[in-house]
Amino acid sequence: MKTLRIKSNPAVKAKFDNYPTSIREKMQNLRRIIIEAAEEEEGTEELEETLKWGEPSYLTKKGSTIRIDWKENSPDQYAMYFQCTSKLVPTFRTVYSNTFAFEGNRAIVFPLEDKLAEDELKKCIKVGLSYHKVKQELLLGL
């Protein structure tokens, strides 16, 4: 397996540290899945981890920004956000309508009590991290 360089902004750790304990575990799990997907994705050599709009965000040279967050006004769920003008979430909804819940064209929403469908989520993340390579493919190559 190749070595992925992760360029992490220290503000991200502070954001994770400020989540309630039970939420922090869920968010750290999403982070782990994103990093694993980036390690597995061909052509992804560097992953930037930063804050955008106050949310942990993950960027690659050939991809679309992926953000994750939990919000106090929706305490029973957390989410993974994608650029709402992209074809990402509409395509994920077409392919994984029986697997995930969605919020408009911008997010996959995870109820706190549900077990994550990690394999399917990794596929979505890989497509997001390589979006500019796959955006012309049917169903983004999923």
Does residue 138 lie within any of the structural domains?
no
**Which of 1-5, 55-59, 72-76 is the least confident region?**
1-5
47-73: average pLDDT: 96
Three-class DSSP category at 69: strand
If pLDDT is split at 50, 70 and 90, which confidence band does 43 have? confident
110-134: average pLDDT: 96
Does residue 137 lie within any of the structural domains?
no
CATH assignment at residue 77: 3.90.1150.200
Does residue 106 lie within any of the structural domains?
yes
Say which DSSP state 9 is in: -
Residues 6+ apart with CB under 8 A from 44: 4, 38, 60, 62, 63, 129, 130
Distance CA 43, CA 40 (A): 9
State which residues form the domain around 9.
Answer: 5-132
Residue-averaged pLDDT of the chain: 95
Does residue 40 lie within any of the structural domains?
yes
Residue 109 clears pLDDT 80, i.e. is over it: yes
If pLDDT is split at 50, 70 and 90, which confidence band does 2 have? low
Does residue 54 lie within any of the structural domains?
yes
Which residue carries 């992490």 as its tokens?
8
How many folded domains does the chain comprise?
1
Task: For residue 15, give both structure tokens.
Answer: 């954001």
Does residue 140 lie within any of the structural domains?
no
Does residue 141 lie within any of the structural domains?
no
Share of the chain above pLDDT 70, in %: 99
